[in-house]
Structure 1
Amino acid sequence: MTIDSVSGEIYVLDTGNHIVRVLQAGPYFTTLPKAQTVDEGRGAIFTAVASGAHTDLSMV
């Protein structure tokens, strides 16, 4: 098993069927929310950005 550090895909050897299976990753965060300090009782807004489409973990 190995993981592609760029795409996040996981490669698994299926030795019984002599094939390499690819587990495709779903969405991932491209921008994480910034840390904020907020006084008690006050509101805060956080923004995050994700990329990719929702998908159940599947083998291709």
Structure 2
Amino acid sequence: MTDTEKSFIPVGRTGEKETDMSEFKHGSMDTTEQEKTFNGFLKFAGYGLLGALVFLFFLGLIRG
């Protein structure tokens, strides 16, 4: 192996040095955006379920 191959540091698309997974610290990532997105999804799914139940209720009244 040549000296150039030994000193090669992988570089990502942004030109930054790639992070080694061994450098990861559990719990250090900011997850506020993910939590807001997930909560929005749950709210959307809850309203969708409520709307479907109301629709089925009225359908039952009409077709009764």
Tell me the TM-score normalized by structure 2. 0.21
Larger RCO (CA under 8 A, 6+ residues apart)? 1
Q: By percentage of residues, which structure has more helix?
A: 2
Larger radius of gyration: 2
Q: Where is the strand percentage greater, Structure 1 or Structure 2?
A: 1
